[in-house]
Each structure stands twice: as C-alpha cells, then as structure tokens.
C-alpha cells in the first residue's frame, strides 16, 4: 500500500511539473483541472462516489459504513504555489485516498464512512485569501465571496473553476465527525530532533496586513522630482522599515513582505499605487497585533512626507488555533503502536485542518521536511517518511471509524 502511495505521488508530480523539478498547479488552471480529473478517476476506481460543491471542493466518499449518515473527513489540497514542490498538500490527499481504499477493501463494516477531500485554493497563490474552500465549508466565507475573488488579470475564481469544469453544486450530505490531515512539516523541527511524526497541538498566531501606498501617476522623465508622489518609493521605504523593526524585536517572530503589486505597472509612469502583502507570525497572536501596530505607527509619518497615503486593504488577525486534544493523543498512541517516534508540536504554517477546527474535532499530522524547505521545487520528504505518514493515516482512520 505504501509503495503505491509513492507511485501516486510520482504520478501527480507530472501534472504541472516544472523544469527545475517542482510543481506549478494554481487554482483553476488547466493543471489543477487535470489533477482533479485524475483524483476523481482514481477515487471512483477504488470504490468512492465523488461530488463537487459550489466552490470546487471535491469529496470522495468511501462507503465503509453504508447505513450511517456520518463520515470522517481526511485529505488536504492539490493546488500549489507558483514554485511548489511535489509533496505539499498532495501527500495528504493521496495518503487519505490510499488508506480509505484499503479500509474499504477489507470489507469490515465501520461506524463511519470515510470522505477523502481535495480543498479548493488552500494555497491562496492565485486568489486571496488562502484556505478558501475549507473556510466556505465551515461558514467563515460565503460561496459568493469565494467565487468572486479575482487574480491579477481580473479572472474570478468562479470563472476559473468553470473554465476547467470543476464548478459544482452538490453538498456533502453526510455529517462529519472528525477531520484528519497529513502534511509535510514545512519546517525543520522534526528533522533536527530526529523525530519521525509530529502531532500538531495548535498553530502560531499571524497578522496579515495588505497595505496600498497611494501616490499619483506622472511621467518618469520630465516630471520634476519635488512634484512626484512616488508610491513605489513609499512602499520601498515601508518594506525597509518593516525588516529593520522585525529584526530589532525581542519576541520570536517570523515575518515577510512577500508580494508586491504596482500600478499602473509601466516603466515610464511613476507608480500611483503599490500594494504590499506583509505578514507577522508568533505563537501569541497578541504579540503579532502589538508589533504590527507599532509598524503602522512608524511608517505613517514617513510615507506622508513623500506625498503618499496608506490604504489598509486587509488587516487579518488569525489567532493560534488549537487542534483536537483527543487527536493528538491518538496520534501519539498510533505512532507508538507502529514503532515510530512522535512528539507534540506547534505549526507555524496555516492548513485546512486549522480552518475545520472551528466546527469539528480536527487532527493534523506532520512528517519531516528535509532542510525545513517548502514552497520550493527543492522541497523533499524521504520515501520512508512518506511511508510512515501513509501508515499513520491508515492507523488513525481505523481508530476514528472503528
């Protein structure tokens, strides 16, 4: 079974493969459509019924309890970052698919069905915000809100999903009793500590600030320098101030200014609006809020001195989310039974399991990432760690449905 999992990962890695060994499968792209089609085909062949909801979430239900109206959700996502690796998200979907098919094939009636899920736009690479599909499922966002999200070229998520044939209208129709997700760690804790399995207890807090620096368009040649209201210069100043402040903070922080959008995006026009995506992470959400407030106070006067203003496009606080304590205990027990070392740990990154924790018990399991590297073509998890993850998911699904 677990070698089949590795073969499946290899197969999916060809969909959207890049020359540097990575994967590019943005939500609503033809590559996303091809991965969805293959997932549906494989799930159907293995005995599942597959439906798609209004925002493209895919639910492949294996009838391990045909007379029950309950199910255990298990899965992750098939979309990737522009510079994605082959394991991020995909491992969780395929390990769930393999495990659910194996349990169905055993023929032993269980208490709950198993639904393998591919959540739409987990990454938030093409359409923001991230965790979109799972957040619609929990009621945090409406379907209309999600379908109306637009990429840089103005295409909506609804239009993109419709174009690839994966805009559905069905609903799950079963009551989920637990959610389970396997993921590569995307950090270095497990590798550095020599531990094989991470039982995630909660997430770090994060503050996401999307700031638009607003100036005025003018010709880059003849416009006198004192007359210019250069939004690009204001954004550059803010980014520099941001990094300087974060490095000087005493709190344990992870931070980034990872995306910038300039308008009108012409080399001969002084930028009139430049939008920058800032992010601050810490185990304590209150720290993220306090640090972000001081950053905003620090840049406001300097940006105004350049003749520019600041529009706050989004200011999102995501508190640290606790995951199922029962699931953590079950993960540690299952690892021990399989002869694997395991440890409770926090996650710095966001996952669909965190969104789902708002409405049901949710469990997140990690396997090591070599070098802690992710969102990169060089992302790597060793084959034995993949096998361990597959064994864990089958063991946990057995416990959750018995």
- Tell me whether residue 123 is annotated as binding: yes
- pLDDT of the residue at 318: 87
Cα–Cα distance for residue pair 322/200, rounded to 1 Å? 9
- Tell me whether residue 382 is annotated as binding: no
- Tell me whether residue 351 is annotated as binding: no
- Tell me whether residue 183 is annotated as binding: yes
> pLDDT under 70 in the chain at which residues?
1-2
Residues 250 and 308 in one domain: yes
- pLDDT of the residue at 250: 96
Cβ(12)–Cβ(32) below 8 Å: no
Residues 296 and 345 in one domain: no
Structure-block tokens of residue 223: 């416009």
Residues 164 and 231 in one domain: no
Residue of 292, 289, 54 lying closest to 167 (CA atoms): 54
Residues 178 and 310 in one domain: no
- pLDDT of the residue at 315: 96
Residues 149 and 30 in one domain: yes
Furthest-apart CA atoms within the chain: distance in Å: 79
Read off the pTM: 0.91
- What pLDDT, in 10s, does the model give residues 206-225? 999 999 999 999 999 999 99
- pLDDT of the residue at 179: 98
Residue of 235, 247, 204 lying closest to 349 (CA atoms): 204
Task: Please give the tally of structural domains in the chain.
Answer: 2
- pLDDT of the residue at 1: 47
Residues 99 and 121 in one domain: yes
Q: What is the CATH number of the domain that holds 38?
A: 3.40.630.10
Chain centre distance of CA 260: 20
Cα–Cα distance for residue pair 350/344, rounded to 1 Å? 17
- pLDDT of the residue at 2: 57
Q: Which residue, 260, 291, 318, sits at the end of a domain?
A: 318
Residue of 213, 209, 241, 210 lying closest to 309 (CA atoms): 213
Residues 197 and 211 in one domain: no
Cβ(202)–Cβ(320) below 8 Å: yes
Q: Which residue, 270, 292, 318, sits at the end of a domain?
A: 318
Cα–Cα distance for residue pair 153/164, rounded to 1 Å? 17
Residues 186 and 240 in one domain: no
- Tell me whether residue 112 is annotated as binding: no
Q: Which residue, 302, 318, 334, sits at the end of a domain?
A: 318
Residues 276 and 211 in one domain: yes
Domain containing 62 equals: 2-204+320-401
Question: Would you put residue 98 in left (φ > 0), alpha (ψ -120 to 50) or beta?
Answer: alpha
- What pLDDT, in 10s, does the model give residues 243-281? 999 999 999 999 999 999 999 999 999 999 999 999 999
Residues 139 and 8 in one domain: yes
């Amino acid at each position: 079974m677990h070698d089949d999992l590795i073969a499946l990962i290899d197969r999916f890695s060809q969909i959207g493969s890049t020359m540097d060994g990575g994967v590019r499968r943005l939500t609503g792209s033809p590559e996303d459509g091809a991965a969805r089609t293959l997932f549906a085909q494989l799930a159907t062949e293995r005995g599942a019924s597959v439906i798609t909801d209004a925002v493209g979430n895919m639910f492949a239900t294996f009838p391990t309890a045909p007379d029950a109206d309950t199910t255990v959700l298990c899965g992750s996502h098939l979309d990737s970052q522009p510079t994605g690796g082959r394991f991020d998200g995909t491992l969780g979907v395929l390990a769930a698919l393999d495990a659910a098919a194996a349990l169905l094939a055993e023929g032993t009636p269980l208490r709950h069905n198993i639904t393998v899920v591919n959540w739409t736009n987990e990454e938030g690479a093409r359409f923001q915000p991230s965790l979109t599909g799972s957040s619609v499922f929990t009621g945090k966002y409406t379907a209309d809100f999600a379908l109306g999200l637009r990429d840089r070229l103005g295409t909506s998520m609804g239009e993109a999903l419709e174009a690839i044939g994966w805009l559905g209208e069905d609903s799950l129709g079963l009551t989920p009793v637990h959610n389970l997700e396997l993921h590569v760690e995307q950090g270095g804790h497990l590798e550095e500590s020599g531990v094989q399995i991470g039982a995630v207890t909660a997430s770090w807090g994060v503050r996401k600030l999307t700031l638009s620096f607003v100036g005025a368009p003018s010709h880059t040649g003849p416009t006198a320098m004192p007359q210019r209201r250069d939004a690009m210069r204001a954004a550059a100043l803010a980014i520099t101030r941001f990094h300087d402040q974060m490095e000087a903070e005493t709190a344990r922080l992870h931070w980034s200014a990872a995306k910038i959008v300039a308008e009108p995006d012409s080399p001969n026009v002084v930028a009139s609006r430049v939008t920058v995506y800032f992010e601050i992470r810490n185990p304590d959400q209150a720290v993220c809020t306090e640090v972000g407030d001081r950053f905003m106070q620090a840049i406001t006067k300097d940006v105004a001195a350049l003749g520019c203003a600041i529009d706050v496009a989004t200011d999102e606080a995501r508190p640290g989310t606790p995951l199922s304590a029962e699931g953590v205990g079950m993960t540690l027990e299952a690892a021990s039974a399989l002869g694997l070392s395991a440890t409770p740990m926090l996650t710095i990154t966001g996952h669909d399991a965190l969104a789902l924790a708002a409405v049901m018990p949710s469990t997140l399991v990690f396997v090591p990432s070599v070098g802690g590297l992710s969102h990169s073509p060089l992302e790597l998890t060793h084959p034995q760690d993949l096998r361990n993850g597959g064994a864990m998911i089958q063991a946990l699904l057995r416990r959750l449905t018995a």
